[in-house]
Amino acid sequence: MSNAPLLEVENLSKSYGGVQAVSGVTFSLMPGEMLALIGPNGAGKSTCFNMVGGQIPSNEGRVRIFGRDVAGLSPRQIWRLGVGRTFQVAQVFKSMTVRENVEAVFASHQAGWGLLARAGKAHRAEAEAVLDLIGMADFADRPCADMAYGDVKRLELAMALANDPKLLLMDEPAAGMAPMERIELMALTARIAKERQIGVLFTEHDMDVVFAHADRIMVLNRGQLIAEGEPEAVRNDPQVRAVYLGEGLVYDQAAAAGKASVR
Amino acid sequence: MSLYVVQFLTGLANAASLFLAACGLSVIFGVTRIVNFAHGAFYMLGAYVAFSLTLRLEGVVGFWAGIFLAAIIVAAIGALLEMLLLRRIYQAPELFQLLATFGVTLMVQDIVHMIWGAQDLVGPRAPGLQGAVQVMGLPVPTYDILLIILGPLVLGALWLLMHRTRWGVLVRAATEDRDMVAALGVNQKWLFTGVFTLGIFLAAFGGALQIPRTAVNHLMDLSIIAEVFVVVVIGGLGSITGAFLAAVLIAELNAFGILVLPGISLVLMFLVMAVVLVLRPWGFLGKPVSTDAKTIGETTRPWHPWSPTMAVLVAASVLLAAALPAVLGPYGLSIGAQILIAVIFAMSLQFQMSTGGLDSFGHAAYFGLGAYGAAFAIQWFQLPMELALIVGPLAGLVGALVFGWFCVRLSGVYFAMLTLAFAQITWSIAFQWVEVTGGDNGILGVWPSEWASSPAAFYWLTLAAAVLTVLILRHLVFSPFGYRLRGVRDSSVRAESIGISRQRTQYVAFAISGTAAGLAGALFAFLKGSIFPDALAIPTSIDALVMVLLGGVATVSGSVVGAIVYTMATIWLMSETDLSRLVLGGFIVFLVVAFPQGIVGSLSSFTSGSLERWRGRREASRPVALSAEASR
């Protein structure tokens, strides 16, 4: 494992009007690491995420991917560096079949205008290799629009992986999925990340998913990182507990009475 | 100096009617999200009704009563239209709304023709305002002064209406967020009807005010609608103040453009619009619009290249078509060639619309550029037909590259309006630049080369061109480029995050489509032996749209069938009735109301309805939550 971080974020800040959505966030991500970014609604997770992915420009601070400053780069330029991305609401090409969706990824970075070849033939083998990897080979010819949402999410992951990325950004990978599907998807992601030494940055609300798979967890509240570390340390962090469970003015009394059972 | 001042005042006076029409369109769009193509028709109707009324009503009171009454009558007709037609299509894709209201425009044209006849009508001058005021030694019509005052007055009145009345607050709220207003218990139906009526009242009022200044004529509707679209796009859809600013800007540009060079005013208008849109894509005071309408990509089933069976069938039909000269006479073959040209034209639009998701409302521009390009090549450079058939598509390509550069910066309804505006500008140049284009007299003597001059030979030439075009465009759909293009159409977010540039991809598609349309135009010029500005006019664009819709927007090349059916139907229709526009307009309206999802979409949802329900039950038994949790 190399020791150079894939992703370095320094002092990243963003404000909308008077609202400081993200302020002074600093962290880094190593190859093969699963890093979770959690926090309550409105904490700035998605903003943070979109600044790393190039969807939103930052006000301040620096994002370096593979040592390169990506300020001002568009999402597609960042993708070309070797960064895969999935979205909170899965973004796939609904009018195409599963295989065609993956083929489209290969069609996108084929050199030249791409006017002469037939995409379905040119990229078939590559696309099927990716579908095999993600366990969707049997669905290859299904129209995307007919798929259950969990499978659509899986397909999106396949598209993000098709580029053979070194860094994967996943905004709420499990959102909208059934409990069993969540676990399967994240287990799959974790396995591939370990095998290929991909660094994964993900946000998530499902704590089971987070604590089962994250190597490291960052907690964001009101735009600021309030905790960072191993899952166990974060779980026991008093500030994190305060953010997630409230200040405890009510619970404290209950706890004092010995009735509370905080998990 | 004084000349400039007077010209400035004339510009301001012109701005008044333009503003009335444009703000009406803007308000209607803001609330109902419908781009009312029929706005120009109501403007014209206002002028005609006012003409009839002011002839009968005497004196100052009579004149102004006539103007107001005309606006009220037309507004009532508008309200009726909203209740009978628009209410049925609010959920339809924006393209269908544009088409339906265009159908209404066609019908109004024939109705106006029936009631008021074909000739231009000169209305009475406004009593007491016939004279002129001296401004810096030059006369300015008193009536113009009145209009100059009227513009800001109407703007002020509308501001009061929107900010000081409960109804106005609701309208503004609905412009911001329709769903929220509905959730608060406001009856949307009547709000929409009210807004539409107000918008139509303003348009008709604007038209009625024109009668003392210009002759009432049949071209008022389409000429004002193009300017109104430009004004609304520059001012920002949904913004009244923006419409006012843009109306003044455009009217002044026209007023001063005429001083510099009579033909240049249109080019100026185009340049200004281009600059504004590059700097502010949503106009002066507009905001990005989000429509609830579904995109083509969401309703399209996966496309496949032809199966071997299908390929054999297609080859057989082509052979059959190639054998037609054996049975058809010269007239039949010339209709055959016309149909094949329509196939090329329709396919070029379908590539852009179905594969690219770009709903162009001005595809005639590239058809016409191709036709004029070929005609110029023959007339000026004495090139042979073979080369002219290359120059034509190149002209279409160049036009598409220039216009497309601006158009692909926008999307949805802004894109459609901008394409229409460009097409209208091209039409005006062909119409007005008489020295070069021959104006209304067109360019004659565009004949094919010796070998292609027999009806059968020319028919085969068009057949070869059509087959080649369809094959090439179909190939492109399944090429890596086609995948990218469809990807951008389905989800531009996903496309960007796998390295596809939306703008560049769509720009290339726009250029390809324009080139193919140029080929159709060039062949058309040789078929007719001449070319007239009509080829660039709005109805040509609409023809292409209807052909694509008939064939199915959600198909790769269904427009081939659409083009054949539609061209034969219209040729037959023209021979059967004098009221072709009324019938055609009615047909378009019927199409949209009967098949709001497009013909193919409606048919498939009709047949698969029961299947979907069955599938729905099955999926429901699996615990899949479809809605994403909010996390922002």
Residue-range domains of chain B with CATH: 2-221 (no CATH), 296-300+331-576 (1.10.3470)
Query: A124 lies in a domain?
Result: no
- Contacting B residues, span 245-304, partner chain A, CB-CB under 8 Å: 296-298, 300-303
Nearest Cα residue in chain A from B488: A93
Q: With contacts defined as CB-CB under 8 Å, which chain A residues touch B305?
A: 118, 120
- Establish, for the pair of chains A and B, how many residue pairs have beta carbons separated by less than 8 Å: 158
Specify the number of domains making up chain A: 1
DSSP annotation of B313 reads H
Q: What is the CATH number of the domain that holds A40?
A: 3.40.50.300
State the smallest CA–CA distance between residue B380 and chain A in angstroms: 34
The reply to whether residue B478 touches residue A119, judged by beta carbons under 8 angstroms, is yes
Structural domain containing residue A55: 7-94+162-256
Query: A58 lies in a domain?
Result: yes
Q: With contacts defined as CB-CB under 8 Å, which chain A residues touch B625?
A: 149, 176-178
The reply to whether residue B631 touches residue A104, judged by beta carbons under 8 angstroms, is no
Query: A127 lies in a domain?
Result: no
pLDDT score recorded for residue A1: 46
Q: Is residue B622 less than 8 Å (CB to CB) from chain A? A: yes
Q: Which of A88, A95, A100 to mutate to test the interface with B (most CBs of B within 10 A)?
A: A95
- In single-letter form, the type of residue at position B486 comes to R
The reply to whether residue A53 touches residue B497, judged by beta carbons under 8 angstroms, is yes
Q: Is the pLDDT of residue B494 over 60?
A: yes
pLDDT score recorded for residue B188: 84
ipTM attached to this prediction: 0.87
**Which one of A46, A110, A181 has the shortest CB-CB distance to B480?**
A110
Q: B316 to each of A65, B124, B313, B557, B571, how far by Cα in Å?
A: 57, 65, 5, 17, 26
The reply to whether residue A74 touches residue B480, judged by beta carbons under 8 angstroms, is no
For the whole model, what pTM was predicted?
Answer: 0.85
State the smallest CA–CA distance between residue A75 and chain B in angstroms: 5
SS3 B525: helix
Indicate the helix (H) or strand (E) that contains B489.
Answer: helix B480-490
The alpha carbon torsion through B484, B489, B491, B497 (nearest 10 deg) reads 30
The reply to whether residue B494 touches residue A109, judged by beta carbons under 8 angstroms, is no
Q: With contacts defined as CB-CB under 8 Å, which chain A residues touch B480?
A: 106-108, 110, 114-115, 117, 119, 122-123
DSSP annotation of A92 reads -
Query: A107 lies in a domain?
Result: no
Q: Is residue B495 less than 8 Å (CB to CB) from chain A? A: yes
pLDDT score recorded for residue B67: 94
Q: With contacts defined as CB-CB under 8 Å, which chain A residues touch B499?
A: 76, 79-80, 108-109, 163
pLDDT score recorded for residue B33: 84
* Cβ count within 10 A of residue B329: 9
The reply to whether residue A178 touches residue B625, judged by beta carbons under 8 angstroms, is yes
Q: A236 to each of A37, A232, A256, A259, A262, how far by Cα in Å?
A: 16, 6, 19, 19, 11
pLDDT score recorded for residue A211: 87
State the smallest CA–CA distance between residue B87 and chain A in angstroms: 29
Q: Is the pLDDT of residue B617 over 50?
A: no
Nearest Cα residue in chain A from B627: A176
Radius of gyration of chain A (CA): 20
* Cβ count within 10 A of residue B106: 26
Q: What is the mean pLDDT of residues B492-496?
A: 89
Instruction: Tell me the pLDDT band of A245, cut-offs 50, 70 and 90.
Output: confident
Instruction: Tell me the pLDDT band of A247, cut-offs 50, 70 and 90.
Output: low
Q: Is residue B630 less than 8 Å (CB to CB) from chain A? A: yes
Q: Cα B464–B469–B475 angle (5° rounding)?
A: 125
Query: A170 lies in a domain?
Result: yes
Q: With contacts defined as CB-CB under 8 Å, which chain A residues touch B616?
A: none
Give which of B303, B486, B214, B48 is closest to A104, Cα–Cα: B486
Query: A71 lies in a domain?
Result: yes
Q: How far is CA B106 from the centre of its chain?
A: 13
**Which one of A120, A159, A176 has the shortest CB-CB distance to B498?**
A159
DSSP annotation of A135 reads T
**Which one of A92, A113, A205 has the shortest CB-CB distance to B494?**
A92
pLDDT score recorded for residue B612: 46
pLDDT in tens, A61-116: 889 999 888 888 888 889 989 999 998 888 899 899 999 999 999 888 766 777 87
Q: Is residue B134 less than 8 Å (CB to CB) from chain A? A: no
- Among B123-132, B353-362, B391-400, the minimum mean pLDDT is found in B123-132
Q: Which of B476, B496, B507, B600 to mutate to test the interface with A (most CBs of A within 10 A)?
A: B496
State the smallest CA–CA distance between residue B504 and chain A in angstroms: 11
pLDDT score recorded for residue B133: 83
Nearest Cα residue in chain A from B492: A91
Full strand arrangement of the beta sheet holding A7-16: A19-29, A7-16, A60-65, A68-69
Q: Is residue B504 less than 8 Å (CB to CB) from chain A? A: no
Instruction: Tell me the pLDDT band of B525, cut-offs 50, 70 and 90.
Output: very high
SS3 A8: strand
Give the whole-angstrom CA distance, residue B617 versus residue B619: 5
Radius of gyration of chain B (CA): 25
The reply to whether residue B494 touches residue A118, judged by beta carbons under 8 angstroms, is no
pLDDT score recorded for residue B611: 45
Mean per-residue pLDDT over chain B, rounded: 87
State the smallest CA–CA distance between residue B406 and chain A in angstroms: 20
- DSSP sequence for B146-177: HHHHHHHHHHHHHHHHHHHSHHHHHHHHHHH-
Give which of A228, A256, A252 is closest to A240, Cα–Cα: A228
**Which one of A42, A76, A179 has the shortest CB-CB distance to B501?**
A76
Give the whole-angstrom CA distance, residue A222 versus residue A32: 29
DSSP annotation of B85 reads I
**Which one of B483, B491, B508 has the shortest CB-CB distance to A119?**
B483
What percentage of chain A has pLDDT greater than the value 90?
Answer: 21
The reply to whether residue B479 touches residue A205, judged by beta carbons under 8 angstroms, is no
pLDDT in tens, A181-231: 888 888 889 999 999 999 999 998 888 888 888 999 999 888 888 888 888
pLDDT in tens, B406-446: 888 887 778 888 888 889 888 888 888 888 888 888 899 88
Q: How far is CA B440 from the centre of its chain?
A: 22
State the smallest CA–CA distance between residue A136 and chain B in angstroms: 18
The answer to whether B489 and A126 are in contact (CB under 8 A) is no
**Tokens 């843009």, located at residue:** B246
pLDDT score recorded for residue A249: 55
State the smallest CA–CA distance between residue B482 and chain A in angstroms: 8
The reply to whether residue B628 touches residue A93, judged by beta carbons under 8 angstroms, is no
State the smallest CA–CA distance between residue B481 and chain A in angstroms: 5
Bridge partners (DSSP) of residue A171 are A203
pLDDT in tens, B88-102: 888 887 788 888 999
Q: Which residue has the higher pLDDT, B568 or B265?
A: B568
Q: What is the mean pLDDT of residues B579-607?
A: 75
Q: With contacts defined as CB-CB under 8 Å, which chain B residues touch A175?
A: 628-629, 631
Task: Select, from the ranges A115-119, B428-432, B485-489, B604-608, the one with the highest average predicted confidence (pLDDT).
Answer: B485-489
Q: Cα B197–B200–B206 angle (5° rounding)?
A: 140
Question: What are the structure tokens assigned to B25, written together?
Answer: 């369109």
Q: Which of A81, A88, A108 to mutate to test the interface with B (most CBs of B within 10 A)?
A: A108
pLDDT score recorded for residue B320: 95
Nearest Cα residue in chain B from A41: B631
Query: Nearest 5°: phi and psi at A186?
Result: -70, -35
The answer to whether B396 and B370 are in contact (CB under 8 A) is yes
State the smallest CA–CA distance between residue B546 and chain A in angstroms: 23
Query: A191 lies in a domain?
Result: yes
**Which one of B498, B615, B628 has the shortest CB-CB distance to A79?**
B498
State the smallest CA–CA distance between residue B480 and chain A in angstroms: 5
Query: A203 lies in a domain?
Result: yes
The answer to whether B253 and B268 are in contact (CB under 8 A) is yes
The answer to whether B199 and B39 are in contact (CB under 8 A) is yes
Q: A166 to each of A62, A70, A78, A253, B406, how far by Cα in Å?
A: 19, 15, 12, 49, 37
The reply to whether residue A94 touches residue B297, judged by beta carbons under 8 angstroms, is yes
The reply to whether residue A172 touches residue B629, judged by beta carbons under 8 angstroms, is yes
Bridge partners (DSSP) of residue A68 are A65
